[in-house]
Structure 1
Amino acid sequence: MLHLAATATRTATTHSHHLPGLGVLLLLAVLWAVGYLALCWIWPFVNCRRCTGSGKSRALVGRGFRHCPRCDGTGHQLRPGRHVLNHLRSIHHRASK
């Protein structure tokens, strides 16, 4: 029984020590989203994934080329974040009228 007197008593623990990690992750996610939307605002286009920015794709038969059907021969596509920005802008313009 003597060894029980030397042990520490348990105290009520809280889970507040997990919140700073969650706050840091949330802050990093918000910073990443703001950075990505800024990138989409400055550089709205990205190279087409199908034609890798050339605007051409190989013809099915022969050695000819045709316009890429995904980007219509431009070689560029809008970033997904730019689609979001354009949609938010259209909502804003409809609400302000």
Structure 2
Amino acid sequence: MTLTLLLASLATLIYAASYLIKCAVSPWGRCRRCHGRRYHHTSIGTRRDCTRCDGTGIRVRPGRRLIDYIRAEYRDGQP
């Protein structure tokens, strides 16, 4: 039981660390709405620029936003 919990928590920590490394190395990901195509189809079938990513097809990963927030808080706390 204890070994199982230890392995599960270790796997979770490894996954979180690898995700944060990925966010540090590659902060941009594909837009979830347009899937990186830069446009999406409206309900009547026409194509429009994606409003979520402003037609770029990329977005900032949530982990990168967390890294930037922590850095800003650290910088603001320094004398």
Q: Which range, TM-score by smaller chain? A: 0.7 to 0.9
- 1:3-61 deviation line (CA, Å, top 9, x unaligned): xxxxxxxxxxxxxxx21111111111111110000001111111111111121234666
Q: Which runs of at least 4 in structure 1 moved beyond 3 Å after TM superposition?
A: 58-63
Q: Which has the larger radius of gyration?
A: 1
User: Cα RMSD (Å) of the superposition?
Assistant: 1.8
Q: 1:53 is matched with which residue: 27, 30, 36?
A: 36
Aligned length in residues: 79
Q: What amino acid is the match of 1:23?
A: L
Q: What is the TM-score when the length of structure 1 is the normalising length?
A: 0.71
**Equivalence for 2:8:** 25
- Residues 1-97 of structure 1 mapped to structure 2, 5 A cutoff: 18-58=1-41, 63=46, 65-97=47-79
**TM-score using structure 2 length:** 0.85
Cα distance in 2, alignment partners of residues 75 and 39 from structure 1: 19
Please list every run of 5 or more consecutive structure 2 residues that lacks an aligned counterpart in the other structure: none
Higher RCO, Cα 8 Å, sep 6+: 2
